[in-house]
Structure 1
Amino acid sequence: MQLSAPHYEERLTAPRSWWVITALVGVAGGVLMLPLGTLPMLGGLIGAAAMAGVVVSSYGSVRIRVVAGSLVAGDARIPLTALGEAEVLDAEEARAWRSYKADPRAFMLLRSYVPTALRIEITDPADPTPYVYLSTRKPKALAAALTAVRAA
């Protein structure tokens, strides 16, 4: 039961090129089974493509939502009262925060195929996590949604 409509919702789907790779994995599975005959080849093609498809789909199905006083990012549900200022990161700055500026204690929902991100400070003194890093295609809209929900 959802208490209120989401103020922001985004699904980080895998890029199309990953689905092409999934099809190629299926072809490779079929080629590996070809010496055993036609039916095993079809089974290898379908089985390998299905397994690769499950992996790509599960990795690419992460959602980011602002709803009911919480930021929901993947499996994490963070109350908005524990969040501080949000910083919109362009592609270059996001790359820096994914690499040499990164803190190992941070909660990072990263997707390498999404160039932009949002970094949000954690203000809860009991939480050792310094910030939340979220790969998002719409960092300004996410920051605006967080601000709007906190102001309401």
Structure 2
Amino acid sequence: MQLSAAPYEERLTAPRSWWLISFLVGVSLALILLPFGTLPMLAGLAGGTAAAAVVASSYGSVRIRVVGDFLIAGEARIPLAALGEAEILDPEEARAWRTYKADTRAFLLLRAYIPTALRVEVTDPEDPTPYLYLSTREPERLAAALQAAEPTP
């Protein structure tokens, strides 16, 4: 049995405000190093900004992809055959599934700065994970890509 899916790829980039915060971290470090002179202050500005930018970039570099017979969400690689129905979550429902409706056994690819999400049931009886919660800016497209993954003879 061969599965195929509509191609889908999304990178969950960090919001623009995080880049401003990265610069402000550099300014803070520069102010801390100001009593030691101009060169340490400039090094603190450059080093602090660069370090904070690396952290923001790495946190925002997670990707969600449908490739062949797999859903790849961050470091997780899940066979499409193990997935059930997908539920598109609006911002209010997404918040509910992140908080009081959440199951501690669920796989969460959570980015708080993305208000919408997709909840996908895991149908594999050997997997204790009840569902996947995937933060996504385009839950309709991701659900369509997963739905297009129907078994072909």
Q: Tell me how far apart the structure 2 counterparts of residues 51 and 22 of structure 1 sit (CA, whole Å).
A: 8
Matching residue of 1:36: 36
Q: Tell whether the 8 Å contact from 2:8 to 2:66 is kept in structure 1 after alignment.
A: yes
User: How many angstroms does 1:19 deviate by?
Assistant: 0.6
Q: Tell me how far apart the structure 1 counterparts of residues 26 and 15 of structure 2 sit (CA, whole Å).
A: 18
State the TM-score, normalized to the length of structure 2: 0.94
The residue identity in structure 2 corresponding to 1:138 is: E
The residue identity in structure 1 corresponding to 2:63 is: R
1:68 aligns with 2:73: no
In structure 2, the gaps of 5 or more residues are none
Give the 3-state SS of the residue equivalent to 2:150 in structure 1. Answer: helix
Cα-Cα RMSD: 1.4
1:102 aligns with 2:70: no
Matching residue of 1:88: 88
The residue identity in structure 2 corresponding to 1:21 is: I
Q: Which has the higher contact order (CA 8 A, sep 6+)?
A: 2
Q: Tell whether the 8 Å contact from 2:5 to 2:69 is kept in structure 1 after alignment.
A: no
User: How many angstroms does 1:5 deviate by?
Assistant: 9.6
In structure 1, the gaps of 5 or more residues are none
Structural mapping, 1:1-152, within 5 Å:
7-151=7-151
Q: Tell me how far apart the structure 2 counterparts of residues 62 and 11 of structure 1 sit (CA, whole Å).
A: 6
Give the 3-state SS of the residue equivalent to 1:13 in structure 2. Answer: coil
Q: Tell me how far apart the structure 2 counterparts of residues 21 and 39 of structure 1 sit (CA, whole Å).
A: 22
Structure 1 residues 49 and 99: CA distance shift in structure 2, 3 A: same
